């Protein structure tokens, strides 16, 4: 199961690279008011280039997937990336006077948002956590690429005093407690990120993880992005998604139909102040009109109804405590 879940990161990376190559990312509308994303495309291309020397097989798979990305997928990647970035950057700006704010990216995979964040916010410590193989792959890529090492000001281990790569099986409660307690500060304002992480954990393990994090850190926010199965009787999105994943990947989403609505998904964070939206709501109400016009100019989108169906089945939750 671990290996199968790790493979999903390559899907996310290919989608991100496709959206970048088509101009969806970085978001011009948000970079001035929230964060400077200068060199965003270049750093992702550097990562892809170095990936080739680490694993030609994975590089070829990602490169092929990039070429087959449809507009509906690029819109989805844009919404996922930008909505999370907004939450992170707003929190960091509101905590600019704190000496140290930490970001803990659970199931980080190949995500590179630590680079612009470390560059733009000098009081941030960023911790990437994932399975051992995923962390070692990322460490090798960062270690052998001069441009990425320079951007992170990293040593030969790909780390700095502000950036850490840590391996941990988040399904193992004892290991997770030990890892977080030894590698992070319980007193610092904390941002926890989980992108399509909870959905691949069984209910017991995901509850344990949430409980552990909320017990360790005194104050912070949890930003979680996941699919939901749909709660209406006629809604077959989750059932079809599960069937496709089983047939094509031998992959399970154990809680997709348990936390199948915004209300049930929010219940996972019952002791927090929770804000939750589906991604279609974000697209319609939170993205400026000029930005939507820019997106429309990039590619012709004739699958608007398909986009709506997909994005109403993905949620972004912010839990504060």
Known binding-site residues for S-adenosyl-L-methionine equal 80, 107, 169-170, 195
- Distance of alpha carbon 24 from alpha carbon 294, whole angstroms: 9
Where on the phi/psi map is residue 302: left (φ > 0), alpha (ψ -120 to 50), or beta? Answer: alpha
Q: Which of 281, 282, 266, 279 is nearest to 319 (CA)?
A: 266
Distance (Å, whole) CA 149 – CA 146 = 5
Q: Where are the beta strands (DSSP E) in the chain?
A: 101-106, 124-130, 163-167, 190-195, 220-227, 273-278, 314-320
| Sheet with strand 124-130: strands edge to edge | 163-167, 124-130, 101-106, 190-195, 220-227, 314-320, 273-278
Token pair listed for 176: 């997770």
| Residues placed in the known binding site | 80, 107, 169-170, 195
Residue corresponding to tokens 């990293």: 154
Separation CA 220–CA 192 (nearest Å)? 8
DSSP string, 169-225: -TT-HHHHHHHHHHHS-SSS-EEEEEES-GGGS-HHHHHHHHHHHHHH-SSEEEEEE
């Amino acid at each position: 199961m671990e290996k199968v879940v790790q493979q999903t990161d390559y899907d996310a990376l290919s989608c991100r690279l496709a959206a970048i190559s088509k101009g969806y990312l970085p978001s011009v509308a948000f970079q001035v008011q929230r964060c400077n994303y200068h060199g965003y495309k270049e750093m992702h291309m550097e990562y892809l280039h170095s990936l080739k020397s680490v694993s030609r097989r994975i590089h070829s798979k990602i490169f092929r997937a990039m070429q087959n990305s449809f507009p509906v997928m690029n819109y989805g990647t844009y919404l996922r990336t930008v909505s999370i970035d907004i939450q992170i950057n707003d929190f960091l700006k509101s905590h600019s006077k704190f000496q140290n704010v930490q970001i803990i990216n659970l199931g980080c995979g190949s995500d590179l948002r630590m680079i612009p964040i470390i560059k733009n916010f000098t009081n941030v410590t960023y911790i990437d956590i994932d399975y051992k193989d995923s962390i070692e792959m990322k460490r090798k890529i960062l270690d052998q690429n001069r441009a990425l090492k320079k951007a992170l000001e990293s040593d030969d281990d790909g780390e700095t005093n502000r950036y850490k790569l840590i391996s941990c099986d988040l399904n193992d409660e004892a290991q997770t407690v030990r890892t977080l307690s030894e590698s992070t500060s319980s007193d610092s304002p904390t941002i926890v990120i989980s992108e399509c992480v909870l959905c691949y954990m069984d209910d017991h393990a995901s509850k344990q993880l949430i409980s552990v994090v909320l017990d360790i850190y005194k104050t912070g926010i949890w930003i979680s992005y996941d699919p939901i199965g749909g709660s209406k009787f006629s809604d077959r999105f989750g059932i079809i998604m599960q069937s496709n994943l089983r047939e094509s990947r031998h992959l399970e989403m154990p809680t997709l139909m348990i936390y199948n609505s915004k209300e049930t998904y929010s219940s996972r964070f019952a002791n927090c102040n929770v804000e939750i939206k589906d991604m279609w709501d974000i697209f319609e109400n939170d993205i400026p009109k000029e930005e939507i016009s820019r997106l429309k100019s990039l590619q012709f989108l004739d699958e608007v109804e398909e986009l709506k169906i997909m994005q109403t089945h993905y949620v972004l939750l912010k839990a504060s405590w």
